[in-house]
Structure 1
């Protein structure tokens, strides 16, 4: 199959393109650097010609609330139009577990807008909802640092390795459309504070992680299950200990 990967030069996209190619598919990476700009529509029609599947693992270049919302609304609208014109038979999008639980998180609002547009498009689709990537622990620490200490709640998480996300998205892309969602998560259930503390310790980052139940996560106070998948989620193979050992 010809599978076009929007965001195909990023963290997940690069891994996904490689995996799909290894399984005999024609995987085409699409990004501004390859001449495809989903915000302006440049190159979208051309890259989707003859495509069987469109996979969107792209991300907003700015994480400001309004920028994220505008990105996902505009980019998804352009992709839907291009997919319909090209006769694409399966639209796959990578999104986030818990997007509907905290509308006060700007990024979640953007992803909900993306999901709603895809569902309403009439195209056969699959939405892959993933938990937080293990690779993002340091970034979460950076945004949660105050006076040299990292303040995070003990809300539950099941962080997943990027390799396992790419594998799940690849399997979904090569399968029959779900016309629904699939949740994927890592095998370990950890507190958000515990996860980040473990990664920082392994990297010899001297910052202390303080358990603070009132600390916000991108502006939201979390409940225990906000970031956790529902029962029956597909679990990745890579635990946090193994991922840390590999990343060294």
Structure 2
């Protein structure tokens, strides 16, 4: 099968391309760096014409309300080009619980992306993943002041990017779901506890303080960001991932 992986040079996309190629498929990565602009439409028609499956793994450059316009324009362009090019399956990656956190602009934008795909002309699959383990350092950074990190007790079920990529490739190579598959890591942590586990493993000297008003995840209430019933549970545990991904020391 032939795949166009839009956003195919990023964290997930590059791994999806590798997985598809390893399975014997033809997978071509596309991004701004390869001359494909999904907002202006430049290079888009050539990228998707004649492919069996389009996998859209692009992300908005901002997480504010401008992300709504990004997903509206990019999905309109992608679906129009894909329909014209004869694409038979369109896949996107979204977020577990995305429709239950209306207080976050970016989550509302991802819901818009899902709804545009559902209403579009092409059979589709939506893979919703929990928070990536790879993003934990950035999450800590967003609420760090000096040597103190403030994090809420929001339950988080982190998943490794490698596990996400494996499932996205598998779903893309299968028949369209015309629905949603939820995937999550094997363990649930309060975010503040996850932060303490991370800074201890990193030995970076910061202290994590519980603050249920801190950061973007304070807008998520209850267990909406954890695996719902029927979700597929990935194998990688966060402590094991941490042990394999220690920061390299210079010198």
Quickly name the TM-score band, shorter chain normalised: over 0.9
Matches within 5 A, 1:69-148: 69-148=68-147
C-alpha separation in 1, matches of 2:222 and 2:208: 18
Normalising by structure 2, report the TM-score: 0.94
Query: What are the equivalent positions in structure 2 for 1:8-27 lying under 5 Å apart?
Result: 8-27=8-27
CA distance in 1, matches of 2:221, 2:61: 28
User: Aligned equivalents of 1:102 and 1:222: distance in 2?
Assistant: 6
Q: Which position in structure 1 is the counterpart of 2:249? A: none
Report the Cα distance in structure 2 between the residues aligned to 1:60 and 1:195, rounded to whole angstroms: 26
Partner in structure 1 of residue 53 of structure 2: 53
Residue deviations 1:159-188 (CA, integer Å, cap 9, x gap):
000000000101100111000000000011
- SS for the counterpart of 1:151 is strand
Contact 2:79 2:121 in 1 (8 A): no
User: Which shifted more, 123-132 or 194-203?
Assistant: 194-203
Preserved contact between residue 3 and residue 53 of structure 1 (Cα < 8 Å): yes
TM-score w.r.t. length of structure 1: 0.95
Structure 1 counterpart of 2:43: 43
Partner of 1:226: 224
For structure 1, which runs of at least 5 residues remain unmatched after alignment? Answer: none
| Segment of structure 1 superposing worse, 142-151 or 201-210 | 142-151
Partner of 2:233: 235
**Structure 1 residue 196, shift from structure 2 partner:** 2.1
How big is the shift at 1:89? 0.5
Superposed CA deviations along residues 143-173 of structure 1, whole A, max 9, x for unmatched, are 1224541111112111000000000101100
The 5-angstrom pairing of residues 132-211 of structure 1 reads 132-211=131-210
Unpaired runs of 5+ residues, structure 2, are 247-251
- What is the root-mean-square deviation in Å for CA atoms of aligned residues? 1.2
Cα displacement string for residues 82-112 of structure 1 (whole angstroms, at most 9, x for unaligned residues): 1100111100000111111111101101101
Cα distance in 2 for partners of 1:198, 1:137 equals: 11
**How many angstroms apart in 1 are the aligned matches of 2:203 and 2:5?**
36
CA distance, structure 1, for counterparts of residue 14 and residue 182 of structure 2? 21
Structure 1 stretches of 4+ with a deviation exceeding 4 A read none
